[in-house]
Amino acid sequence: MVTRAIVVWIGLLALAFANGAFRELALTPALGAIVAHAISSIVLSAAILLVASLTVGWIGPASAAGAWQIGLLWLTLTLAFELLAGHYAFGKPWSELFADYNVARGRIWIVVLLTTAAAPFVAARLQGLLAGGPS
């Protein structure tokens, strides 16, 4: 289950890069940084939910706890990549990296992180893969 979850997360990482490129090349020049970041966060959240829905059966969590473990793994990998690679590989200052967490300034990146954590559970539940979900 963990290996498959990591494979899917790598796909999510690719989607996040594509989403960021679209934001910087198309949305930011047209709409400004704050609106572009908000739209980009919502689009990425929807993409994460879609990918989770398409792959949760293949990943195969056996329980609600397993689905949450996948989500927490994805969240941990996302935070580690964003902060460590963002700072050490891409040279972004810590202040710039943490600016995305400032909801008071219109940054809603936290929505993406919450979606990342919850998506495997939500997808598995909606698909009836967990007790109590639709059949």
| Token representation of residue 90 | 């891409």
Per-residue pLDDT, 13: 97
> What is the span of the domain harbouring residue 7?
2-126
Q: Which residues, at least 6 apart from 3, have a Cβ–Cβ distance to it below 8 Å?
A: none
Per-residue pLDDT, 80: 95
> Is there a domain that residue 37 lies in?
yes
> Is there a domain that residue 118 lies in?
yes
> Is there a domain that residue 134 lies in?
no
pLDDT above 70 coverage of the chain, percent = 97
> Is there a domain that residue 116 lies in?
yes
Per-residue pLDDT, 127: 92
Q: Which amino acid is at 112?
A: V
Spell 97-130 as b/e; 16+ CB within 10 A means b: eeebeeeeeebbbeebbebbbbbbbbbbbeeebb
Per-residue pLDDT, 135: 53
Q: What is the mean pLDDT of residues 60-76?
A: 96
| Token representation of residue 130 | 């967990």
Instruction: Answer yes or no: is pLDDT of 119 > 90.
Output: yes
> Is there a domain that residue 135 lies in?
no
Q: What is the mean pLDDT of residues 37-66?
A: 96
Instruction: Answer yes or no: is pLDDT of 14 > 60.
Output: yes
Task: List the single range of 1-5, 25-29, 62-66, 92-96 with lowest mean pLDDT.
Answer: 92-96
Instruction: Answer yes or no: is pLDDT of 101 > 60.
Output: yes
Count the domains in the chain.
1
Per-residue pLDDT, 69: 97
Q: Give the chain's mean pLDDT.
A: 93
> Is there a domain that residue 133 lies in?
no
Split at pLDDT 50, 70, 90, the class of 20 is very high
Give the Cα separation of 108 and 104 in Å (integer): 9
Instruction: Answer yes or no: is pLDDT of 132 > 80.
Output: no
